[in-house]
Structure 1
C-alpha cells in the first residue's frame, strides 16, 4: 500500500537548479577553507532573489528531491553494512545544525530532522512538509543547509568532494536517456 506522501505523487521541481545552488555552496566551502566566500554567497543570494514565485517553488521542490535522493543513497549504503540510516545520519545532522546559529534557527531543526527522516523512510520530503502549510522564510536557509550537509556527508563517506553532485548528475542523465522521445 502506498502512502499519500509517496514520491511518485510529489513534484520533482527543478532538480538541476537546486543542484547548481548546492554544488556552488559546496565548492565555495571546499575552495575557501575559512568558510564560504562572501562573493559566492552574494551571487547565489542574488540568483535566488531573482526567481519568480513559480521558479522559487520549483527550487524548493528540487531541493526536497535532492534530499530524497541523497537519503536514498545513504540508506542503501548504510543497509549494505547492516546499519540504520536514521540512526547514523540524523543525530549528526541535528548536532551540526545546532552549531549553525546564524543560518539555522533552533526552531527549524525539528522540521529539517523530520524532513530527513521522511526521506530516509521513503517518503517525499516536500509532501511531508506540505502537510504543515507553506514554507516559511526562516526555513529557507535550514533547507539549503540540510541538502548541503547531506551532500557533504556523502562526499566524506566516499572520500570524493564531487561524489554527491556526480551522483545526481548521473541520475538525471539516466532519467533523460530513459525518457521516450516524442
Structure 2
C-alpha cells in the first residue's frame, strides 16, 4: 500500500507529495507497535523479492542478467538521492537486491547482519519503490507492479480458501 501510494503521488503531481497522504502514512507508521514495524520491514523485503523475481524472469527471457541490468541502475539512482539515502546504506540495499535476484529471501539475508538501523528504513522503502517504478517503465504500465503484488495476494488467498474447504 505504501509503495503504491508513493508511485501514485510521484506520477499524479510534479509539485510534490500530497500532504494529507503523507500525514496518513506517518499516522499509520506511528500507530504500529514493534511487531507491526517488523511486519512492514518484512513486507518491504517481500516486495523487493517479488519484484526482483519478476525482473529476473523478464531478463532471462531475453538472455540478459538481471544483476547486470537492474542493480547498477538501482545503485546509481540511490546515489543521486543524497538527501534521503545515506551513502553507507547503499551497499545494504544493493546486497539485498542481489540476494533477491539469485532467489534468496532478503529478510533472511538481512538477518545475518542484525536489526535494521533507523537510517536504513528510508533506503529500504526507496529500493522497493525504485524496483516497482522500473517494472512499470519496462511494461509501459503505471500500475503493473501493484497488480503484480495484488494478483499474487489474490492467488494466495484463493489457495488458502481452497485448502480450508478440503
Q: CA deviation at 1:98?
A: 0.6
C-alpha distance after superposition, 1:19-70 (max 9, x if no partner): x111111111110123333332232122112111001101100110010000
The answer to whether structure 1 residue 30 and structure 2 residue 4 are counterparts is no
**Residue 85 of structure 1, aligned match among 54, 66, 72:** 66
The number of residues matched between the two structures is 163
Counterpart CA distance in 1 for 2:140 and 2:56 is 18
What per-residue deviation string (whole Å, max 9, x for no partner) do you get for residues 93-131 of structure 1? 000001111211100000000000000000000110110
Q: Give the root-mean-square deviation of aligned CA atoms.
A: 1.0
CA distance in 2, matches of 1:49, 1:131: 27
* Uncovered stretches (5+) of structure 1, i.e. residues with no partner: 1-19
1:125 matched residue in structure 2: 106
The answer to whether residue 39 in structure 2 is matched with residue 58 in structure 1 is yes
**Hey, what does 2:164 align to over in structure 1?**
181
Q: Which moved more, 1:32-41 or 1:48-57?
A: 32-41
Equivalent positions of 1:1-182 (< 5 A) are 20-179=1-160, 180-181=163-164
Runs of 4 or more off by more than 6 Å in structure 1?
A: none
Q: Which has the higher helix share?
A: 2
Q: Distance in 2 between matches of 1:33 and 1:50?
A: 29
TM-score by length of 2: 0.95
SS in structure 2 opposite 1:181? Answer: helix
- Asked if the contact 1:94–1:109 (Cα under 8 Å) also holds between the matched residues in 2, the reply is yes
1:142–1:43 Cα change, 3 Å:
same
Q: Which runs of 5+ in 2 are unaligned?
A: none
- Kept in 2: contact 1:25–1:41 (CA 8 A): no
